Structure formats: structure tokens, C-alpha cells
Structure 1
């Protein structure tokens, strides 16, 4: 259901770090938004160092963007962003001052996974039952 993209300069994240980050992003999202871990998608985008800037200057930020279904309580969305930022810093070794987490949302009905329109938050069990049948 959710899609997270972690963007960093090439070479700043090893394969092991990517695997650990993906596992922790998945765990945090599944715990807070009550979805099965199998439905959390994490992709990595490695850009050449000369393609990453902050403040108009070459930089090495780590940017985590995520798409989530609209309708989760704001307190949970804020908690999700904060926990993702902290975990990303802890695992990657990148100072949290260089990490940006942005969560974007849209209605569940605007997304399709596995040929099925996504459920509204709170309707996951029924959706899973219908899609697994």
C-alpha cells in the first residue's frame, strides 16, 4: 500500500544499510498504520553526487518521501514521520539534520495495487479478505 522512496547520493548507502532501512521503514509503518508488512514498499534512488543539492550547493542529504492513504489521524502521521527520521539517522549514520522525511497522501481510491483499489484506512481486513479470495 504505502510507497517510500529513499533518495541519496550514490555510494552513501551500502546494500546492507538499504536492507536494514527497508526493514525498519516497513516495521514502523506497519506498526503505526496497522497494515501487513508485506504491503509496505521501499525503493532506493541513488543519484550521482553532482545531482544532489541543498541550499543551491552540492550536498549529501538523505530524503525519504512516502505516499500514504489519506485518512490516518494527523497525530499518527506526525509520529510516523518523526520515527522514520530517527530510524533513518540511526541506521544510515547520516546526521538527522541532513535527513528530510516528507509524507504525501491522497485518497485510497486514487491508488490500485494488485488490480484492486486500495481500502480506506481501517478497512484493511475486509479488503485483504476480498483480495485474497
Structure 2
């Protein structure tokens, strides 16, 4: 955890842009919350023309929606800084106005999440939790070159 879903409407992102956005979201989450980057996941999807409506009318303009599920326990200030950082980075990478990017964060208690086969720790307890991962999983994460 966190899990972010980036959905585009009337906009095709290149693989390079997707990689840059995923990296920017992971870095923003890590730097603002202190959570290890290896917990971050970013999924991309896009809507077909005519599948996105605003106010009951078909939207024909480019938009990006970022929905994030994060562990409960961060201050409003941290969450707003996180969202603002993501907003600015996604705008820069995708080349669209901040007014065309919508971001939503939802919090889930850590006791309601399982990753790597284990319930997640409370924020700030990741190091002890990480030590409980198998040596093979720790090696996988180290080889993936993610924040440890």
C-alpha cells in the first residue's frame, strides 16, 4: 500500500510518460509520508471516447484522474502536500493543465490490508514489518531497485 489508479480520458500517455508518472507518484508518496517505495503500486487505464461524462454530458477534453488508497494515520497537511506534489508532477509530465487533473485520496486502516502475505503495519512501523519478510522477498525487492 499505497495503491494509485491513474485514469486518462481523451488522452493517450506514452509508456515513458506512464513510467515517469509512476515514479513521480512513488517518490511523492515516499517523501511526504516516509513509507517505503516498495509498497507503492500505480495502475493505468484509459476511457474510450464517449465513456466519460461531466455534468451528464460527454466530455471531449483531456483529463487525468488519480485515485489513491493509502494507510490511515497521516495529517491533513501531509495528505495535501502529497496531493499537490502529485498534481504538479502529473501536469508537467502529461503536458496538461492542473485544472484538468482530479485527485482523490482514501484512507484505509492498516489492519484492513494485506500485502506480501501479511497485514500491513501502522505508519512508521515499516522497518520492523519489513524484517519479517522472507529473505527471498527482501532480495526480490532489493533487486527491483525500489526504496527500502
TM-score scaled to structure 2, two decimals?
Answer: 0.84
Matched, 1:81 2:83: yes
Distance across 1 between alignment mates of 2:36 and 2:108: 20
Deviates more, 1:25-34 or 1:51-60: 51-60
CA contact (8 A) 1:54 1:61 kept: no
Equivalent residue of 1:121, what SS? coil
**CA RMSD across the alignment:** 1.4
In the TM superposition, residue 58 of structure 1 has moved relative to its aligned partner by 2.4
Structure 1 stretches lacking a partner, 5+ long? none
Distance in 2, matches of 1:121 and 1:100, equals 25
**What stretches of structure 2 of length at least 5 have no aligned partner?**
136-148
Provide the residue aligned with 1:65 in structure 2. 67
Aligned partners of 1:27, 1:39: CA distance in 2, in Å?
11
Offset at 1:10? Answer: 5.9
Q: Structure 1 runs of 4+ off > 4 angstroms?
A: none
Aligned runs of 1:6-17 on 2, under 5 Å?
6-9=6-9, 11-17=11-17
Per the normalisation by structure 1, the TM-score is 0.93
Q: How many equivalent pairs are there? A: 133
1:48 aligned onto 2:67? no
